[in-house]
Amino acid sequence: MPAKGWIEVNDLFCKGCELCISACPPKVLEMDSEKLTSKGYHPTHIFKDGCTGCAICAIVCPDAAITVYREVTKAPTPTTAGGD
């Protein structure tokens, strides 16, 4: 099962530079054309499933406006044959 992630963009810092969009490997980010920040910029948001939580978007963001979260999944515990 692939990793699942999501981001939160701080509207106070996002200036709509689009660096995160071009850096996103699964190409799931876009500018939110229906929303404006208090400074008049369109912030980034996830527009489709596929974010892996790789955090490349947060690394390239010059204003540290992106927080990345990644779902933690536990690997199944192996069982021994024979029931001992």
* Mean pLDDT of the chain, nearest integer: 91
Q: What pLDDT sits at residue 37? A: 92
Distance CA 11, CA 77 (A): 41
Domain 5-70 has CATH 3.30.70.20: yes
Task: Tell me if the pTM is above 0.85.
Answer: no
Could you state, in order of their start, the residue ranges of all structural domains in the chain?
A: 5-70
pLDDT higher than threshold 60 for residue 13 = yes
Which residues, other chains included, contact 42 with Cβ-Cβ below 8 Å and sequence gap of 6+? 16, 31, 32, 33, 35, 36
